[in-house]
Amino acid sequence: MTYPIRPIDESEWPAYTRVLDEGFNSRPHPQQAERWKAQTEFDRTLAAFDGDLIAGVAALQSFTMTVPGGRLPVEGVTSVSVLPSHRRRGVLSALMRRQLADIREHGESVAALYASESGIYGRYGYGRASQSLFFRIDKTRSAFVGHAPTDPSLRIRVAVPADVRADLERLFASVATRRPGRYDRNPPIWDDVLADEDADQRGDGPLRCLLAEDDGGLRGYALFRVKAGWDADGIASGELKLTELEATDPAAYALLWRGILDRDLVAKVDSGARPVDDPLIALLADQRQLRASVFDELWVRLVEVDKALTSRAYSAAVNVVIEVEDDVCPWNAKRWRLTADPTGAECKPVEDEPDVTLPVAALGSAYLGAGMLTESLEAGLLREHSTGSVRALATAMSWSPKPWAGLVF
């Protein structure tokens, strides 16, 4: 069966959100739904119709994202859902193919998404491009190394998040350029970050804010919630959940983490999503106390391989012929010679013998610099024809710091 696909207009919003409510088994708070509507670019939505019924949906959100060496317009894929009555009939596949064609027509070369389940998007050419670290730590075991940075000019200020929003926005914009994967936040995204309407219902406490400042102004902030509690012996057992912590420099970073880890009446700190190379790891005197797990974060798809590969910087020189396999975007399925070094890159279609044959998803997973190509080679998922070519490509595409978006879209 085929299901005609087109963007929705605003009058179809209730039917569109119904598919999302059913797919995600969730009903957002009315204020959250309003913010979400404000973030929706209606001409970039897609709905698959079964007669008058919307059976599946998907949408794009335009971002400027940090990539190795620069910033790039990236299409954020979001709000993907299919009605339970229509699942496993190819609705998602039809939506994904149409969406990728639309992205190309729109002139963009890279798409990215957060996956609800990690088994879904590889078949459409998306590769796991970044990871998040989640950890819990006992406050009493969180001492820092003796030589952790300090700066006597810094001080901590307690603030109401909404009162300092403009300062938070400015600071975030200044640090978002430093790490691949971070993306610009528009006002509706900030509305979401600072939203607090269902705090009491969740029992996690209101959103709180610490600022690290000196006479020159703001150097960092932490957003968090504290669920207060006492154990049966009357010992304080509060749990602090960090939402985000950003700083311009190591001393402000360390001071804010101490503000979090030393919070009175708190027993445990739950980090929320953090980068896998979070500098906190190096600051802890006893790193094993950080009980951590790692999950896939962004999935990246190169929609136009040559344009995408020449829109980022490279850590080392490389000259390889890459044979790309891509059934979903067949215009990419060619042999490409990538010639790159730290000063620039060129990517041209060629007839030469390939050094490596790989699925387009492998390039997506390497795109932000996470170094996943070596992992794929060692897993036997790439075909290397010239010994050393994959390692050379992996080295050139790797980047520090590691990619991380830090906020689900």
Ligand X SMILES: CC(=O)SCCNC(=O)CCNC(=O)[C@H](O)C(C)(C)COP(=O)(O)OP(=O)(O)OC[C@H]1O[C@@H](n2cnc3c(N)ncnc32)[C@H](O)[C@@H]1OP(=O)(O)O
Please, are residues 308 and 110 in contact by the beta-carbon 8 Å criterion? yes
We find the least distance from the C-beta atom of residue 337 to ligand X, in angstroms, to be: 32
Question: Which stretch in 76-84, 143-151, 204-212, 257-265 sits in contact with ligand X by CB under 6 A?
Answer: 76-84
Please, are residues 3 and 94 in contact by the beta-carbon 8 Å criterion? yes
Q: Residue 215 is which amino acid?
A: D
Q: Do the annotations mark residue 193 as ligand-binding?
A: no
We find the least distance from the C-beta atom of residue 108 to ligand X, in angstroms, to be: 16
Residues in binding contact with ligand X, number by CB under 6 A:
24
Q: Do the annotations mark residue 90 as ligand-binding?
A: yes
Q: What span, in angstroms and rounded, lies between the C-alpha atoms of 109 and 100?
A: 10
Smaller CB separation from ligand X, 152 or 330: 330
3-state secondary structure the chain: CCCCEECCCHHHHHHHHHHHHHHHCCCCCHHHHHHHHHHCCHHHEEEEEECCEEEEEEEEEEEEEEECCEEEEEEEEEEEEECHHHCCCCHHHHHHHHHHHHHHHHCCCEEEEECCCCCCCHHHCCEECCEEEEEEEEHHHCCECCCCCCCCCCEEEEECHHHHHHHHHHHHHHHCCCCCCCECCCHHHHHHHCCCCCHHHHCCCCCEEEEEEECCEEEEEEEEEEECCECCCCCECEEEEEEEEEECCHHHHHHHHHHHHCCCCEEEEECCCEECCCCHHHHECCHHHCEEEEEECEEEEECCHHHHHCCCCCCCCEEEEEEEECCCCHHHCCEEEEEEECCEEEEEECCCCCCEEEEHHHHHHHHCCCCHHHHHHHCCCCEECCCCHHHHHHHHHCCCCCCCCCCCC
For position 2 contacting ligand X by CB under 6 A, the verdict is: no
Q: Do the annotations mark residue 93 as ligand-binding?
A: yes
User: Rounded to the nearest 10 degrees, what angle do helices 360-367 and 389-397 cross at?
Assistant: 40
We find the least distance from the C-beta atom of residue 147 to ligand X, in angstroms, to be: 43
Of residues 16, 253, 367, 409, which has the active-site annotation?
409
Binding map of ligand X across residues 98-117, x = CB under 6 A, - = no contact = ---------------xxxxx
Question: Which stretch in 86-94, 290-298, 310-318, 326-334 sits in contact with ligand X by CB under 6 A?
Answer: 86-94
We find the least distance from the C-beta atom of residue 382 to ligand X, in angstroms, to be: 21
We find the least distance from the C-beta atom of residue 82 to ligand X, in angstroms, to be: 4
- Contacting ligand X within 38-67 (CB under 6 A): 56
Pick from 26, 88, 147, 351 the residue near ligand X by CB under 6 A: 88
Pick from 67, 92, 313, 321 the residue near ligand X by CB under 6 A: 92
- Contacting ligand X within 294-323 (CB under 6 A): none
Q: What span, in angstroms and rounded, lies between the C-alpha atoms of 4 and 228?
A: 51
Indicate if 121 belongs to the active site: yes
Smaller CB separation from ligand X, 24 or 230: 24
For position 87 contacting ligand X by CB under 6 A, the verdict is: yes
Indicate if 409 belongs to the active site: yes
Pick from 60, 67, 74, 82 the residue near ligand X by CB under 6 A: 82
Q: What span, in angstroms and rounded, lies between the C-alpha atoms of 295 and 293?
A: 7
Of residues 16, 63, 121, 221, which has the active-site annotation?
121
Pick from 89, 136, 165, 227 the residue near ligand X by CB under 6 A: 89
For position 77 contacting ligand X by CB under 6 A, the verdict is: yes
Smaller CB separation from ligand X, 26 or 343: 26
Q: Do the annotations mark residue 89 as ligand-binding?
A: yes
Q: What span, in angstroms and rounded, lies between the C-alpha atoms of 295 and 7?
A: 32
We find the least distance from the C-beta atom of residue 407 to ligand X, in angstroms, to be: 14
For position 6 contacting ligand X by CB under 6 A, the verdict is: no
We find the least distance from the C-beta atom of residue 364 to ligand X, in angstroms, to be: 14
For position 123 contacting ligand X by CB under 6 A, the verdict is: yes
Q: Do the annotations mark residue 80 as ligand-binding?
A: yes
Q: What span, in angstroms and rounded, lies between the C-alpha atoms of 328 and 101?
A: 9
Pick from 61, 81, 131, 243 the residue near ligand X by CB under 6 A: 81
Q: Do the annotations mark residue 6 as ligand-binding?
A: no
Pick from 14, 119, 330, 380 the residue near ligand X by CB under 6 A: 119
Binding residues for acetyl-CoA: 80-82, 88-93, 116-117
The binding site for ligand X (CB under 6 A) comprises: 23-24, 56, 77-82, 87-93, 113-117, 119-120, 123
Would you please indicate which residues are annotated as catalytic (active-site) residues? Answer: 121, 409
